[in-house]
Chains A and B, each alone.
Chain A
Amino acid sequence: MRQNGPLALLFNALVITFMLAPLLVVCLVAFTPENTLSLPTTEFSLRWFEAVFVHPDFVQSFWNSLWLALASATLATLLAVPAGMAITRYNFPGRDFLNGLFLSPLIIPHLVLGVALLRLFALVGGGGSFGWLVLAHALIITPYTLRLVVAALVGFDRSAEQAALSLGASQTQMFIRVTLPMILPGVTGGWLLAFINSFDEVTMSIFVTSPSTITLPVRMYMYATESIDPLMAAVSALMVAVTALAMLILDRVYGLDRVLVGR
């Protein structure tokens, strides 16, 4: 008696269609041979993808986004691993406060963060530089890495660590040779999730990028508010492809279902 009736299956089919429709239509329109936004009816054409690769703004923004996501995900992981160790393994005053603080970018609207960072950069100078952008992105993606690192550390069997120590390993050796390999799926999963979130971020970035550091989503947002042509569809399809690739790797190293719904 745990079967779905025909009505339930129909409902399910409609929801799945609803969730996939905008992504599918973007990917199809990207292959149009026409000059207008239309579904390819006669043939598939790659002309709009070619147009993307010779469009200097989009190419530059793509590299900006890629380097930014790589740098900020790495920084966020470097911050989250020690912080996660402290939060799961020590009981110290202020622990709950720090945990709440490190997770707070999840509930503070990105718009507010963007506005706040814009104010900071206006006062200290250097707004829109790549370095500031890396720090700003690291801030908003640290919660994702922290959560996966903490999840990896919570079910951790510490007897292997104690064995290493009693066999004469130093704390550093123990961390590098024993602890890190054991939490590695959580760390790499967190890094990838952070990478995806940085690569996709638009709301905060739109406030803190300068013309030379505009990221791909921000460039697309600005392009879409001014003109709409199949070029936008081709860029979107490429975004979907990059995200899908990252998701595939994430699924291999950590499990997409574990990232999205926990266990």
Chain B
Amino acid sequence: MSHSRPLTPWWLTAPAFLLFTCLLLVPLLLTAVLSFNAYDPVTGVKAGEFTLEHYAHVFTDDYYYGIFWRTFWISGLVTLICIAVGAPEAYILSRMGKPWRSILLLVVLAPLLVSVVVRAFGWSLLLGPEGLVNGCLKLIGLQPVRMLYTEIAVVVALVHVMLPFMVIPVWTSLQKLDHGVENAALSLGASPFTTLRRIVLPQVLPGILSGSLIVFGLAASAFAIPGLLGGRRLKMVATVVYDEYLHELNWPLGAAIALILLVANLVVMLSYNRLLEGRYKKSLV
């Protein structure tokens, strides 16, 4: 019956396609056009006049260069920490006994569903000058450290938000692991470390890679965390776009930065995906 009605799939997808055309494709196109529109601080956007000025501005101005660089290194650092913490955590959880295994997995993943504003606020309580972390430092006789409104707070909170995105793919690839192979390596005299390095690690590598790609992409475009924990001074790309739109009112420049972020994100994700597919096609299926 599915072959006799060739139009059915289009009817079924039409409502969703309509929504995605009107609220995704068209607005993105409009924004792309806007980013080439000339802008005058007094009269605003000049429709019909086109310029490359905004892109040139972003690529040559040290201010924007600095923000892109900071966003890049913070996202990179967050990705590395997520690999270093998330991958072992997923492995440890996968080796736990029956009730704890799923309970603790949920404890690690459930914060994913709590609003990022709440989590950012929680970290501002913990990392503030009078916060719990500095309180503990004082208790053991150390100097308090300024963390709130610095890179430290942003990185810590981003790791908290992103860690589940690393644990999930690593966990998924660990589920596919054949424990017989692990036991075979051990019974043939390999040390636990060698087994981990030569048997387990190669098989979870696709999971780690796809996790890092998600983490990097989300961290690079994060808005609420740098907005609330970075303060006014510490800008990242997303908070700068917000400023251009709602404070400076220079929409074309904001649109140009947003599109650079989008393209950079898509390039990282898609090229990484290509790499994954090429090298790990078998293990991904």
Contact = CB atoms under 8 A, between A and B. Distances in A.
Q: Number of contact residues on B: which range applies?
A: 35 or more
Given A22-B160, A202-B116, A120 B168 contact: no
Nearest to A256: B106
Given A92-B6, A261-B168, A261-B172, A142 B117 contact: no
A19 B121 contact: no
Given A23-B114, A98-B13, A117-B27, A233 B104 contact: no
Interface stretch (B17-25, B57-65, B274-282): B17-25
A262 B223 CA distance: 28
Interface stretch (A43-51, A52-60, A106-114, A176-184): A106-114
B123 A120 contact: no
Nearest to A36: B130
Interface string B1-33: 110001011111101110110111111101100
Nearest to A146: B16
A226 B111 CA distance: 25
Given A123-B30, A225-B227, A236-B122, A109 B265 contact: yes
Interface in B215-250: 217, 220-221, 223-224, 227-228, 238, 241-242, 245-246
A224 B117 contact: yes
B89 A111 contact: no
A83 to B, nearest CB: 4
Contacts of A220: 115, 117-118, 121
Contact of B262 (A16, A109, A236): A109
B108 A15 contact: yes
B227 to A, nearest CB: 7
A203 B107 contact: no
Contact of B31 (A21, A83, A119): A119
A79 B15 CA distance: 6
Nearest to A92: B9
Contacts of A23: 111, 114, 118-119, 122
A25 B126 contact: yes
Q: Number of contact residues on A: which range applies?
A: 35 or more
Contact of B107 (A2, A19, A233): A19
A176 to B, nearest CB: 15
A196 B20 contact: no
B39 interface: no
A115 B238 CA distance: 10
A109 B172 contact: no
A243 B113 contact: yes
B105 A261 contact: yes
Interface string B117-142: 11111111110101010000000000
A152 interface: no
Nearest to A136: B23
Secondary structure dominating the interface of B = helix
A70 interface: no
A95 B19 contact: no
B74 interface: no
A151 interface: no
A86 B12 contact: yes
Given A19-B108, A203-B238, A232 B121 contact: yes
A22 B258 contact: no
B16 A236 contact: no
B189 to A, nearest CB: 13
A224 B15 contact: no
B213 to A, nearest CB: 10
A253 interface: no
A258 B170 CA distance: 15
B89 A239 contact: no
Nearest to A123: B30
A240 B241 contact: no
B126 to A, nearest CB: 6
A261 B171 contact: yes
26 contacts: A8-B92, A12-B104, A16-B107, A19-B108, A22-B123, A22-B126, A23-B111, A38-B130, A79-B15, A80-B16, A87-B9, A89-B2, A101-B25, A102-B16, A109-B220, A109-B262, A109-B265, A119-B251, A120-B30, A123-B30, A200-B113, A207-B245, A220-B121, A240-B118, A260-B106, A261-B171
